[in-house]
Structure 1
Amino acid sequence: MTEYSGGKFRKKKVNFSMISNEILRDSTISLKTKGLYSVIQSFITLDDFTLYKGYLQSICTEGERAFDGAWRELKAKGYLVQHKMRKGAKTFYYEYELLDSPLRPQNVGVADVNVKNVDSTKDRCINNTLLNNTLLNNNVSNHIVSERDVSHQIGYDSSLHDDFIENLILIMVDVLNMPDRATIRVNQADQQAKVVKERFRKLRYKHIEYIKLVFSDFTGEISSMRSYLISTLFNAVATCDIYFSQRVQHDMYEKGDNT
């Protein structure tokens, strides 16, 4: 079975959280962005622990918009570099690298990334109000939800050409364009399409990242892949944060046993 992973941070080989004075004293960077930088730094210096962007989002109380704004600022200022990695012939994923000093545009080639990766549109702030209004008014305006709509909703960069995510997007498009009164098989029971669509509209990239991790760990037999993925997408909104929290606790427990 093909393994999928994405959105994880590269480790730093230190055992304490030392924050760069350069970013702390940078008057052009907001306090919330300096806070996000500090939180990331505190996790990526832990031994035997892998930090995922999805987990960061799950522990931020400020909300998705505030997180996205701080995330974009870190990248725009050059303190957060996004590396596009290849896994196999067609699968790509991202790794993130936190820098002590900002990566200037003229030095981008040295880090073996390009401007598109540094200023990637994958994690750009989406106008959620406009997008959600479009999706919510689907039955009234006869708007057909497209792959592009869903890609924007979850924050997916189509240049990645990730077959797994793009298959999930196709399933989401299919479900979101179903009549509200239709029935969909979810968790081995019939659900009204309206309920499933409302849940699907809450999906973001952290949920997709979570699904990829769960899918890569699953070793059982799947009789209907479509039904399995629809159920997984439906459940992800409720189970994603719990999964990342348990993963962190497990990693911390394993780290404690090894000391």
Structure 2
Amino acid sequence: MYDYFYGAESEQFSFYRIPKVLFTEERFKNISAEAKVLYGLLLDRMSLSAKNGWQDKENRVYIIFTIEDIMAAMGCADQKAGKLLHELESKCRLIERKRQGLGKPNLIYVKNFVTPLESRFLNRENHDSGEVKITDQEPLKSRSNNTEYNNTEFSDTDSFPFTSFREDHGQETKRSDADQRERYREILSGNISYEILLQDYPLDRDILTEILELMVDTVCTTRSTVRISGDDKPAEVVKSQFLKLDSEHIRFVMDGLKDNTTRIRNMRQYLLATLYNAPLTIGNYYRSLVSHDMSEGFI
């Protein structure tokens, strides 16, 4: 039986961003709902590509999202995945694909459908009298509350306010820190299929428990930064990354621990770095294994 939401607890999940205008503007009416959801998935991947500097010579951000990725994310067959990509590219030009050749995956450019004029005036009022000259030095005196294009559309909804549970919202049902921690433990445990991992790794219960508790510690931290591989990362970014981890990422971390032949001096820092980087490195790791097996004639 599921519980009710209390106070700001509805903000505890990470979300994909699907701009509301895709559902409200006439120019997008002929696009299927599934294609719009896929655009949201691609848009979510864009933020990660931007953070990692995936840009071409013209500073245009691109992503790599294969047919297999779409099949897994959308729960569809390869033919359907290809059809959705074709719809976004040919029917509404919301994406552009660039072939790399040599068996490499296509690059995908997710298009910004907001026109330059719209982009320039999104957060400004319409002035009715006289000609308004806009310069870089002009102060932004007022903001528009046009809900079609304001920050409810383009904010990073993965970075939800974790500290909101600590604020006083006037709710009599305010949770204690212990309750908050337990709730995140339940969420993270479900995300990574913790009980199944315990069954699959019966001799590694301690390390799996350490991984889960480390994830809970990180998500519940009140610090503004988290140190990863010697660098101070914004805590909200790290928390968001950890909430996206699933069982395959944990299996990848476990495989890395088994394959590691050097002494790990600081297990906590090692796990923090490995967990944080898992979504970025897991693909290359398994591709290299496949390439190795092919070269050895196992495939």
What band does the TM-score fall into relative to the shorter chain?
0.3 to 0.5
TM-score (normalizing by structure 2): 0.40
Q: In proportion to residue count, which structure has more strand?
A: 1
